[in-house]
Every structure is written in structure tokens, then in C-alpha cells.
Structure 1
Amino acid sequence: MTRLQDRVAVVTGAAGGMGRAHCLRLADEGADILALDLEQHAAGLAVLAEEVESRGRRCVTGFADVRDPLAVEEAVNTGVAQTGRLDVVVANAGVYADLAPAWELSDESWQRALDINLTGVWHTVRAGAPHLGAGGSIVVVGSVNGVKGGASAAHYSASKHAVSGLVKTLANELGPQGVRVNIVHPGSVATPMILNDEVYAKVRPDLPNPTREDAAAALARRNILPVPWVDPVDISNAVLFFASDESRYVTGTQLVVDAGLTQKV
């Protein structure tokens, strides 16, 4: 498949979860990958590189905490120097943790969510945008919590609402250069961000030690379609659409992939 043949995409939070899925899906369509993540995820990046290269595409890996603008800029510049170009920026890195009512959140939990989910996106775009030419695409991974509120997730919801506004502004700023900026809002996705004990306890507070199966039943009831969550590739397919020429006249747009969660009456 050749929807991104010989283009180069940078993906943050690439070592696992949705980030890994994005890298593989874009590689399947002919893209070379610049995969960035924390140094502690070096093993995951190494495995990812092997998977991308098994598809006949190049994978350059780098370490960067999106909270550190200099580290992100250096990693992007180093990667672009090796790949020779950059066509797609996927700002995927995010955190969903420390769930509690707003008045019980610590200052540290609040700031961490904003630093990664909002400021980290800004750092990523600021590092990548100068390398993009006409036809370039920036795709931000948001959340349904950027469309609606979410109990026990004030910090997360605030960061995702804010990044939605950032995307609209960036679309206006970069449009005259022929660069598109869009956002994908996932609902619950079958990754460790959702499949963990903290989330299970949030959605099944009636049980002392809820399991994945307990949480699945509760999550399925929130959706219109009869599934508890979507798969990472479902989000990656949306990222691919925004990265490809199929969306060449689409910018400043929000695409929700949530099995109907936000529309459930």
C-alpha cells in the first residue's frame, strides 16, 4: 500500500500503545518513521524499529521527553538529518493517570497532565513544523475528554480541551504554508492507558477489586456500539487519513473515534 510512499513521519510516545500502532500503520502505507519516546522505553523502541524495518521501511529512533523543548527539538532535528525530510508530525504522547475528583488532585498531578498533554504537543509541533513543506500534515491525538467532561479527570479533560483549541489556532497559522493540522479524539482504546487497575476501579467503584472483564461490561454500556473499547489500529486509521492526501483539503477538524460514546443518550 502506498498512501504515504517515501514520506517521513515523526511520532511521539512511539514505543507502545497507540504510538506503536501509528508507526506500524503509517509504515504499512510506505512511510519511514522517526519514533520518539522516553529513554526508559528504549527496549520498546528497539522492538518497534525491527517491526517497521520488517515492513521494508526505515525507522530512526530517538529519546525525548515532550516536556523538554530542547530535547524534542534536538531529537527531531537529528532524525530529520538522517531521513532527509519530514512530511507528517503525529503528536501522540499523553498521560491519563492520578484519577480523582478535581478538589483532591495534587498540584503535581494537575501540572504533569498539562505539561505532557498540552505543552508537550506544542513542543512537538514547534520542533516539527519548520521541517514541513506544502502538503505537510500535523495530527494531534486528543481524547473524547476534549469534547466532553470526565469525572475524576479534570486535569486530563482540561488539557485535552486546551489542545483542541491549539489545533484550531495552528490550522489557521500553518494553512497559508499548505500545512494541515487536525485532531483525532479516541474514546476508550485497548492499551495500557485504559487496561489498568486504576481505570477499572474508576468505572466499577461498586467492586473492591474489579477485573478487566468487570470494566469491559461497564465501558460497553457507555457506548452506542456494543463494544467496550476500540483497538489501537482504529485510531491509527484516522491518523493515516489525516496524514495522507485523502484529507488534502481538511484542516482544523476534529474526528471522534469512540464507538459512539460522546453521542450516547
Structure 2
Amino acid sequence: MADQSARGESGSTGDIFRDKVVFITGAARGQGRAHAVRFAEEGADVIAVDLCDQLDSVAYPMATPEDLDETVTLVEKTGRRIVAERGDVRDRERLAEVVARGVAEFGRLDFVIANAGILPAAGEQAHDITAFTDAIGVMLNGVYFTIEAALPTMLRNPDGGAIVITSSAAGFKSVSTDLDSMSHGAAGYTAAKHGVVGLMRHFATSLAEKNIRVNSVHPGGVATPMVLNEAMAGFVAEHPSFGESQRPLLTGPMMEAEDVSETMLYLCGPAGRHLTGVALPLDAGLTLK
């Protein structure tokens, strides 16, 4: 977060999204916060939503209202505006309310980053069936609801727009590596991250005539609180085959959330104007193994 704060104090670093508006889910911390700050640095105003509460199926501490407040502070330091609300992506009506408030404030909506996610694969709760239903609810249904909430406004843009779905390397391979690591939570995560590739292709095909581009990004391990926590460390220690399966081909430091943000900028910005329907691995070669 030091990099984000330092950039913010000196104002925006560019203007490729000047006077554009981005809607980001899961924006209280991690990748969602990094995307919000980076888009703001490039001139965009931000509509942000996050649950800011704990799900029983998740073994690690989830984001808090204070985390969302910090995202607001960091975006405002860039000189851009933000509408930030608590909301559950499984609640379609709530998402529509958040979008409506943001559009009333900013007058438009150009980009969607469907980013909200959970990793209910660790701890005893991973073996409860709610770990599966929560994973599907947040990361498959929630992605669909996010896009549906944004579409009525986006379809009015004469210049189109862009939608990017945060999938995962688990959109190409299973989280479970053997019988011992199998759980309802691992199954739900894998199924949801595969499923959003289908949603991406559905929307990419359907929205092309309106010049709305739709792609998915598939990161490997990213240094965020969803990955770097006591519960996941215990899971890796208990299941070494999982840890090995997450080791990328390229060596070097673990990917940071800001690295993913640069890919989001590319896919939404002018440089990515010819890309739609792409499931883009951002995994240092992880899925080649």
C-alpha cells in the first residue's frame, strides 16, 4: 500500500480515463482497492462496493468497513471522486442501488471490474456445503449480477466500454490436487472461476455490437489478505501438493495486486481496444504446469 499512498500524494499519473467512471466490486482491499486507486490515478471516478463483513464459510478475516474507508481515502488523494457502499454481490437489487447512486453522482458508467471473491478452501468450514454455495454465489452469480446491474447504463454509451472479470488460474485447473485436499469450498472456487469464462464469452459475443468489450483475467497467487493469512498458510502446510501446484514457472517475488491493476488498465484502455473474449492468464506460467 505504500506505493499507492505515495502516488496518490502527488496526484494522478495520467489521464487515459479522464472523466470516465469505473464500477469495482470487492474494492475494500487487495486487488479491488489497487484497481480503484490505479484507475483514479488515470482520471476515472470510482463506484466501489464491498461486503465488509464475514462469511462463516471463509476461514480468514475478510474486509471491514474501515478497509473500505481507506480505499475512499486513497482514491480521493488522487483528486478523483468515489462513491463507496457496502453491499453483497449476491444481492442483485443492492448492486443496482449502488450503481444508481454512482451514476446519479457521476452521470455515466464506462468500465466494470467484477472482482469480488472469496477463497473458502481452508479450515474445517471448507467441508461444509455452504462453502460451495457461497463460492458460487459470490464468484459466479455475483459476477453475473454485477454486470447486469451495470448494463442498462453502459448500453447508453455511444462509445461502448469494457468489462473485465477477475477469474483465477483456477479457471483453468483445479484447486484440489488430490483426494485429501478435496472439499466443498475448493470445488466451489474451481467451478466459479471456470464458470465466469463462460459468462465472459456470453457477454463478449452479445455486447460486441455495442462496442462493449469483455475479457477475463486469470491471476496466480497474488500477495493479498485472501492468500497471505494464517488459515491458508495452514492449508498449504497440510497439503504440500497444493503448495507445489501453485508454484509458477517464472521465479521472482510474488505478484502484487498492483501488477494485476496494470492488466486491467490495458484491457479497459485504448491499447486493449481490439481485445474481447480473451481469457488472459496472468500467472507467471503457473497453468503451463
Normalised by the length of structure 1, the TM-score is: 0.90
Relative distance call for 1:46 and 1:107 in structure 2 (3 A) is same
Counterpart in 2 of 1:89?
A: 112
Secondary structure of 2:238's match?
Answer: coil
Partner residue in 2 for 1:114: 136
SS in 1 for 2:116: coil
* Structure 2 unmatched ranges of 5 or more: 1-13, 54-63, 177-181
Residue 222 of structure 1: SS of its match in structure 2?
Answer: coil
CA distance in 2 between counterparts of 1:61 and 1:206 reads 38
Q: 1:162 deviation in Å? A: 0.6
Which has the higher mean CA deviation after the structures are superposed, 33-42 or 115-124?
33-42
For the pair 1:105 / 2:127, whether they are aligned, the reply is: yes
2:255: which partner in 1? 230
2:203 corresponds to: 170
Find out whether 1:243 has 2:268 as its counterpart.
yes
**What is the SS of the residue equivalent to 1:184?**
strand
The change in CA–CA distance for 1:260 and 1:73 in structure 2 (over 3 A counts) is same
148-157 or 121-130, which deviates more: 148-157
Q: 1:67 aligns with which of 74, 83, 90?
A: 90
1:160-199 map, 5 Å: 160-199=193-232
**Residues 42 and 202 of structure 1, relative CA distance in 2, 3 Å threshold:** closer
Kindly provide the amino acid, as one letter, of the partner of residue 61 in structure 1.
Answer: A
SS at match of 2:73: helix
Do residues 43 (structure 1) and 43 (structure 2) align? no
Identity %: 40
Residue 234 of structure 1 deviates from its aligned partner by 0.8
Match of 1:139 among 164, 179, 184: 164
Contact map agreement 2:37 2:75 (CA 8 A) in 1: yes
For residue 106 of structure 1, report the CA deviation from its aligned partner: 2.2
1:16-44 CA deviation, whole Å, 9 max, x = no partner?
01100010111111111111112543222
Q: Distance in 2 between matches of 1:30 and 1:167?
A: 26
Task: Report what 1:211 is aligned to.
Answer: none
**SS of equivalent residue, structure 2 residue 215:** strand
Gaps of 5+ in 1: 208-214
One-letter amino acid matched to 2:71: L
Amino acid at match of 2:28: A
Q: Could you tell me which residue of structure 2 aligns to residue 129 of structure 1?
A: 151
Distance 1:206 1:82, change over 3 A: closer
| 2: CA distance, partners of 1:64 / 1:171 | 26
What is the aligned-residue RMSD (CA, Å)?
2.1
Of 261, 275, 278, the residue aligned with 1:253 is 278
Structure 1 CA distance for aligned equivalents of residues 23 and 246 of structure 2:
36
TM-score (norm 2): 0.82
**Aligned counterparts of 1:52 and 1:99: Cα–Cα separation in 2:** 32
How far is 1:246 from its partner? Answer: 1.3
Aligned partner letter, 1:238: T
Name the CA distance, whole Å, in 2 between partners of 1:242 and 1:206: 35
Inter-partner Cα distance in structure 2 for 1:112 and 1:160: 13
Alignment counterpart, residue 201 of structure 1, candidates 234, 246, 255: 234
> Which residue identity does 2:288 align to in structure 1?
Q
Aligned mate of 1:55, from 78, 92, 112: 78
1:99 Cα deviation from its structure 2 partner? 3.5
Letter in 2 for 1:30: G
1:161 to 1:56, Cα distance in 2 relative to 1, 3 A: same
Letter matched to residue 282 of structure 2: V
- Secondary structure of 1:93's counterpart equals coil
Q: Name the residue aligned to 2:6.
A: none
